[in-house]
Structure 1
Amino acid sequence: MFDAARHAFAVEGYAATSTEALARSAGISTKTLYRLFPGKAALFEAMCVDRIERLLSAVDLQASGDVDIETGLRAALLACADLALDPEVVALQRMVLQESAAFPDLAANFYKNGIARTASTLARWLRVQVKKELIAIEDADEAAGMLIGMVASAPQRAVIYGGMPLPSRKQIERRVQTCAALFLDGCRTARE
């Protein structure tokens, strides 16, 4: 159901996607769709929640004690990048930008159930690392937003506004590695 909805919203747009077409593409009746979701907005919100739950549950962001901080951070950032740079998520973000004036709740739901939840999940992981005394940061929420911005924002903007292709897996992994190193080690040289 959610895969069909995500595809329809990404391709057709929110306004142009009818509940009848959504039900048909999911292989259910419109009546069943309305029993599951009171409207298209509720389906969109549930779809966003489902997508992030599936992606973030695929990677254990709470990294066990056996994993060093850099490996754990890379895994966490890669999970965030996989979500932010997923072709359908980028298409949905483009659609939300285009239609948010007519449907302000659409943008709010996309932010609350996608962007903000990704950042709060990463912030929880960072707080665990602070408790283990592996890193020292004052505001885990702010740091999580900065990290996600470093790893995903420029490639997203290049795709959405510049018409560039999504980065390859190798490019994403290299970006994640660079972001993790910058965060953990900084880039200032030691001076005497």
Structure 2
Amino acid sequence: MAKAKSSTDRRCRGRPQLRPDDETRQIIYEAARHEFSASGYAATSTEMVARRAGVSTKTLYRLIPNKAALFEGMVSDRLDRFLSDFNLHAADHADIDDALNATLMACADLTLDKEVVALQRIVLQETGQFSDLAATFYKNGIARISAALADWLRVQMKRGLVKLDDADEAAGILLGMVASAPRRAAMFGGLPLPTHSEIEQRVRTCASLFLRGCRVDGRGDDAG
């Protein structure tokens, strides 16, 4: 006759496996990104996000206190992951042309991502009602991308590959060249965002124009 299972065995079989809070928080941020993009800030509730994430509202509130913190954390999380990839792209190539192309593609992959553009549209539409939205998006999004690109440009200056008066200003100009026009066309003109191949072509053009003015190898303005 088979032995009866102990109460300890029964409890272990029925007990759900615990998931680390960091992993749960990541799942919540991903769900929030989809909900905010689809429904807008005002219409998105924490209950909707919890349902999409497959967690209870009690769990969500234990990890993230309110909707404002959820939005801020979601933007920061997206940028944290982008900046990690950004550094890898920047270090992959010794040649300045390849390095700048890879770096600008990393920027474009985020700034022209359809969900990021949708979030930007939400910020513009609802900042009057939720005044902290624009500041959060700028601080955790736009400013951090520009600062990361400026840091990368300073590394290229130290390597003696480019010459710039102001790396921060140059970073803003580069980001504007790559993303501003197609993003405005999508947000205000209702046009589709560029395809990956179209973004690659735009990045190559922007990188070429930029290096033509600041390269230090005999092909830029510093050529004798």
TM range (shorter): over 0.9
Find the counterpart in structure 2 of residue 21 from structure 1. 48
| Mapping for residues 19-98 of structure 1, pairs under 5 Å | 19-59=46-86, 60-63=88-91, 67-98=94-125
| Counterpart-to-counterpart distance in 1, 2:68 and 2:94 | 40
Q: Please, what TM-score do these two structures have when normalized by structure 2?
A: 0.80
Structure 2 residue 123 is the aligned partner of structure 1 residue 123: no
Find the counterpart in structure 2 of residue 185 from structure 1. 212
| Counterpart-to-counterpart distance in 2, 1:57 and 1:168 | 24
Deviation per CA, 1:59-92: give whole Å up to 9, x if none: 425425x521111111111111110100100111
Q: Please, what TM-score do these two structures have when normalized by structure 1?
A: 0.93
- Code of the residue aligned with 1:122 in structure 2: it is L
| Counterpart-to-counterpart distance in 2, 1:182 and 1:142 | 16
1:77, 1:151 within 8 Å by CA — same for their partners in 2? yes
The 4+ residue runs of structure 1 with deviation greater than 6 A are: none
Which residue of 102, 111, 119 corresponds with 2:138?
111
Find the counterpart in structure 2 of residue 133 from structure 1. 160
Find the counterpart in structure 2 of residue 101 from structure 1. 128
Find the counterpart in structure 1 of residue 37 from structure 2. 10
Please give the secondary structure, in 1, of the residue aligned with 2:91.
coil
| Counterpart-to-counterpart distance in 1, 2:131 and 2:155 | 35
Q: Report 1 or 2 for greater relative contact order, CA contacts < 8 Å, sequence distance ≥ 6.
A: 1
1:6, 1:47 within 8 Å by CA — same for their partners in 2? yes
CA RMSD of aligned residues (A): 1.7
- Code of the residue aligned with 1:63 in structure 2: it is A
Q: Percent identity?
A: 63
Which residue of 170, 173, 196 corresponds with 1:143?
170
Find the counterpart in structure 2 of residue 171 from structure 1. 198
- Code of the residue aligned with 1:40 in structure 2: it is K
Please give the secondary structure, in 1, of the residue aligned with 2:42.
coil
- Structure 1: 5+ residue runs without aligned partners? none
Indicate the structure (1 or 2) with the bigger Cα radius of gyration: 2
| Counterpart-to-counterpart distance in 1, 2:90 and 2:115 | 26
